[in-house]
Amino acid sequence: MKLVWLRRDLRVDDNTALNEALVCGGPVVCIYIATPETWQSHGLAPIQADLIFRRLCELSKELSALNIELLYDEVPRFSDSASRVAEVARELNACMVLVNREYEVHECQRDDRLASQLSIDGIDFQCCEDKCIFAPGTIINKQGSYFKVFTPFKNAYLAKLGMHSFDVKKAQTAVEAELPSAMRSLAFHQDVLFNYPRKDSTQWQADTGSIITELREFDANLIDRYAKERDFPSIQGTSKLSPYLAIGALSVRQCMARLMYGQTLPLSQGREVWQSELIWREFYQHLIYFETKLSKGRCFLDWGDELRWHTNTQWREAWENGQTGYPIVDAAMRQLNHTGWMHNRLRMIVASFLIKDLHIDWRVGERYFINNLIDGDYAANNGGWQWCASTGCDGQPYFRIFNPITQGERFDPSGAFVRQWIPELANVPDKYIHKPWAWPDVRNLSYPQPIVDHKVEREVTLRLYKEAKDA
């Protein structure tokens, strides 16, 4: 019998560890371990926890159709999970435990600990490369080191992709496993105790068929317009597949294979841009593997740790609650708080505002996003926030500071998105929708004045960053 430990790879098809277990024949059992205390300390969003639980319900059915039992258990902390998996493997009399590798530093240490514990019992351990199309260490520069700038990484990635044959494997049926009586109580069922706060995620799909349908519909109907429409939050211009990628209900291989299927080079501009976004995800996964400090709250650029941050609680709360007085910022934050998702262009705008208008540590925003996003992914979230803070690998220059007024005027010119999330601005004319304080009838609005002056705070940011770099 072989035991597959599922983490953020909650799918049957194109699951490398599961396929490796199945290809050898014999019975296969899967297990998922919840770690609520660690989830709490890491800030797992309740809406993502709900999606994980709903996905486990569907995954249990999908595995069962292949004669594979899904076991479920809970231990308080992340550090306890490896020991529990080793214990289950012993009780199952498993000959092998298989996992798909994760690249954060503590995850790597956890898997090393599991390998050591299994070796004592003579149980084989196989750690598969699955999260990226190309594993960290397989895309390197001429000096044999990892890339620190995205564009050369992308070029090397695409060259390798051109020689790559996609093999998105369907899972095979296994020999039915006979569970020991002591293990039957761990069989997953919908009423299992899931000891973590949950927020309704039913606006997102949980079964594989619906998720794959969303991927195919995006490819068929939206992807070729992606480059032109992805920056406008009032229209459906993005894939909205990120929640499924975050929990592993969908793989990057499945996305890339669909994107390239039947296409000739060069790709359409829309396909090329979406492909670039998928490669950014891969880039950040490679970075956290090579730079362990990124898993420890450190800046990629050392001078970033010299930045002096403000700790204005009122400003932070105004940002969190969508009450800054800047409509595009506030609408974006209200979208996040209500839905657990935020449009990608808006993520950059609100991050820039928190960091470079309010001078609040990027880690505060990083944590708030993880606490609330249904698509929270550590590497992508950290990479995005450090990019905006100009402290990350290939981040935007520190003197490039988004103006929240002009960003709103450019990407929500009619104010449709703002009015959707800020009903108190419904009657403001388009001319004033992104600066309502200038509207002659502003006294009739129950909407706050700007909490800061962007022009003033821009100069403060330039000084703070120069001081940090010169320190």
Active-site residues, by number, are 277, 280, 309, 344, 362, 385
Residue pair 32/70 in contact by the 8 Å Cβ criterion: yes
d(CA 355, CA 339): 23
SS3 454: helix
As beta bridge partners, residue 372 has none
Q: Which of 213, 104, 317, 278 is nearest to 270 (CA)?
A: 278
d(CA 374, CA 391): 25
Return phi, psi of residue 73, to 5°.
-145, 170
d(CA 470, CA 465): 9
Which residues contact residue 292 at a Cβ distance below 8 angstroms, ignoring those fewer than 6 apart?
105
Torsion of CA 293, 295, 299, 305, to 10 degrees: -80
Return phi, psi of residue 180, to 5°.
-60, 150
d(CA 146, CA 148): 7
Rg (CA), the chain: 24
SS3 186: helix
Mode of pairing for the β-strands spanning 28-34 and 96-100: unpaired
d(CA 448, CA 436): 9
> Which amino acid makes up residue 63?
L
Q: Helices 378-389 and 269-290: crossing angle, nearest 10°?
A: 100
d(CA 440, CA 398): 36
DSSP state of 32: E
* Count of alpha carbons within 13 angstroms of residue 281, beta-carbon side: 20
Residue pair 393/300 in contact by the 8 Å Cβ criterion: yes
Residue pair 396/384 in contact by the 8 Å Cβ criterion: no
DSSP state of 449: P
As beta bridge partners, residue 69 has 29
Q: Which of 374, 384, 387, 389 is nearest to 336 (CA)?
A: 374
d(CA 56, CA 189): 9
